[in-house]
Structure 1
């Protein structure tokens, strides 16, 4: 049978693709200009194709895109010196991506203050660990929409919601990864559902703390606004970028008693901290963990109750979020 595209057999033994195959294919990819080579799509073998979800229908540009994104993401999990070794050898490092392999190895040796032979051994160690990560990734079922059509995805989102203020604020810190070259702007949005009986006067506003500037606001409805954010400089495929944005909406009494994040693109990690008024905390708070959109609006308390600490905070963490499902918390006064 097949699991996640890799062949397996009973008893745990694997057939078809081994970690050694992934290592061999990484060594093939690093030749010449590495991932920037014109013939890259011909040098990506079956093991890397499985690990990166590359199909026979993908054109050369998409093959490169999928490979770079997966190598960048998994390489970040290596120790810093091995990540440097792997990215330099493969041509992923911005300071070492223009030359051929021997030049990149010499650059790496200089960075490590070692001879080229030692640098090559460091690359071999990095490729072994990276191959294990790629192999594990290939064994997992692939999520649909892993590569966002609008050019970027969220690696981590940290949110802080202040409900102890008369006009609540939501501050987000995000690390994103570019899924295309020359990514120069983002489209961000916030929905703040409210009691329909309340007047239609105050709009959702936002300000950027760092990592970009808002160049356009689009008020889609009284409770939904989009913001166009220009980045400080265009991002290249696989490049990470951090930014922080602060939203405000309208008085707390107008709001509905929940806060959820519903990712419309790939999101790997979401953490949120909500601060309630410690003098008037809600009677009950519960987690929303991957419910279909709007399914939580029956306001029936869930079984996953949460405790509010003595300063009024509740903290939650989610990983490998599914697109279109909602994650967060709900409360009852």
Structure 2
């Protein structure tokens, strides 16, 4: 369905009436344009529609100026200080917040709705274009990794929330690389790289994609439709002889949070690597911000907007370093 900004703005202005997003019969009030841009269906119940609309509206308002963002959130009853049962009460709250009269508050809301519709239509068009590409059938919204190097065999726990950018996502293609592996030219066995799924799917495939990269196929419990989210938890265990850990995504990653706990003796240097070429992750010439481990022997780094093919993570130096690293 092709959605115009004018049609969507009209539906948004209808939705703001009464209890707004908290309306008890939300399934009847959400119009076809709004359903189309938010990815809801005729079969969705009120709770599912309310959750999806809240996610979409909150995301779209981030592109608005602060005053219009506040006006729109208040109109829908999404602003925490404007959760009031009637639209007129929310208008009065906004007028007081802006230190203006009710008429000005209403104009500000109308302007915000029109701008919001433009943002929504533009973002949906971009999503359609991206979803048509094989590499954008899904992406990672949040990736959290904890790497413990003080274990007999280093362990990495990965918690990942993915978002479907197309319908019928049944399987995730993941991969890990053991860089400068002593097994170069040979298959990396299950004893060299242990992978355990804690929740979120079933590991159904494992294949060598190159001399040191292992491809993993994770079957999901049920197919995901566009815009739906799913969480998985994995554990990886492998010897790390080259001192670095980086994420080299094959699908976009919105944010990546990494904790590394070092073994004794402590590293003599730790650097943050951000958007470096994959082959340069182990090269001392690739520099980044210096990091200092805390009293527990840990460092914590955070990245946003990770681009496929580039490396993000940390590299460290220890008195005796070997020649192996781990990338996911």
Same fold (TM over 0.5): yes
Check if 1:33 corresponds to 2:32: yes
Distance 1:260 1:25, change over 3 A: farther
Tell me the equivalent position of 1:215: 204
Distance 1:76 1:188, change over 3 A: farther
TM alignment of 1:84-123, pairs within 5 A? none
Q: Which runs of 5+ in 1 are unaligned?
A: 1-20, 41-67, 88-111
Tell me the equivalent position of 2:292: 307
Tell me the equivalent position of 2:216: 227
Tell me the equivalent position of 2:226: 237
Distance 1:154 1:301, change over 3 A: closer
Q: Which runs of 5+ in 2 are unaligned?
A: 13-29, 40-52, 63-68, 93-105, 319-328
Tell me the equivalent position of 1:262: 248
TM alignment of 1:56-135, pairs within 5 A? 71=56, 74=59, 128=112, 131=115, 135=119
- Size of the aligned set, in residue pairs, is 250
Check if 1:290 corresponds to 2:275: yes
Check if 1:272 corresponds to 2:272: no
Check if 1:163 corresponds to 2:149: yes
Distance 1:76 1:295, change over 3 A: same
Tell me the equivalent position of 1:149: 134
Distance 1:137 1:154, change over 3 A: farther
Tell me the equivalent position of 1:322: 307
**CA deviation after TM superposition for structure 1 residue 233, in Å:** 1.7
Distance 1:264 1:37, change over 3 A: closer
**CA deviation after TM superposition for structure 1 residue 115, in Å:** 7.2
Secondary structure of 2:134's aligned partner = coil
Q: What RMSD over aligned residues (CA atoms) do the two structures have, in Å? A: 4.5
Q: Name the TM-score, length of structure 1 as normaliser.
A: 0.60
Check if 1:183 corresponds to 2:169: yes
In the alignment, is the contact (CA less than 8 A) between 2:9 and 2:117 conserved in 1?
no
Distance 1:233 1:197, change over 3 A: closer
**CA deviation after TM superposition for structure 1 residue 216, in Å:** 2.2
Superposed CA offset, 1:46-88 (max 9, x none) = xxxxxxxxxxxxxxxxxxxxxx9x9478259799x969x699x
**CA deviation after TM superposition for structure 1 residue 272, in Å:** 0.3
Query: Take 1:113 and 1:128, find their aligned partners in 2: how far apart are those partners?
Result: 19
Distance 1:72 1:180, change over 3 A: farther
